[in-house]
Structure formats: structure tokens, C-alpha cells
Amino acid sequence: MVALMTSYVLFATIRYARDIALLERAQRRWQWHYVHPRALSSVRVGILGRGEVGAAAACALAQPGFKVRGWARSDKQPPGVICMAGDAALERCSLAPMCSS
């Protein structure tokens, strides 16, 4: 289940980052125009919960270059992921975009 969920999160996030829905709408209308893909490193992703699925998804997203920030109840610092912990950190995250503190 972890592998299935992780691959779905990666797929859905890349689909969003590459504006695939916009390209599909244009295709249905026979309107072809170039949309320059944005760098994955320009897309921020937040993950609340660092259990088995959250940790795997965070690491999978960090690998191709997404800016990943996570939150967990306890301190967990996987490579390539900025992770905050505890209730006070969660409260700060809800007040600032993408846990920018």
C-alpha cells in the first residue's frame, strides 16, 4: 500500500506541476499552444503526518527536486525534507504559507 500511495502522490503532484489539466483542456478544444513547464524545484509541497506513507511520499517528492516541507507530532528529519514537529509548529504552519517559519 505504501508503494501504491507514494506513486500516486508523485504522479498527482507532477501532473499539477506540469499543468497537465490545462494541456488536456486545450487538446479537447483543438487549441495548441506551448506552455513552458515550470521547474519542479519551484513547486512547494506540504505533508502533514510523517507516518510510513507520509515519509515515503515526502522522500519521493524531494528526490526529483520538489521543495518539500513536512509536519509530524515528533521530530523526524529525513534527507531533503524540512520537517517541523509538535503542536506549536503545526499552529505556526497554519498561519504561514507552506510552513515558512
What is the Cα–Cα distance from 98 to 18, expressed in whole angstroms? 20
In 18-50, where does DSSP find H-type helix? Answer: 20-28
Q: What is the pLDDT of residue 90?
A: 67
Q: Look up the pTM and report it.
A: 0.74
Domain ranges of the chain: 2-99
- 73: three-class secondary structure by DSSP: coil
Residue 69 C-alpha cell reads as: 516541507
Top-tier CATH class for 2-99 = alpha beta
Tell me the mean pLDDT in the region 74-85: 67
R_g of the chain, CA atoms, integer Å: 16
What is the maximum alpha-carbon separation in the chain?
A: 51
Residues 6+ apart with CB under 8 A from 80: 59, 62, 63, 68
Q: Which one is predicted more confidently, 91 or 59?
A: 59
Q: Does 40 have pLDDT greater than 70?
A: yes
Taking a C-beta distance cutoff of 8 angstroms, is the pair 76, 50 a contact?
A: yes
What amino acid occupies position 45? V
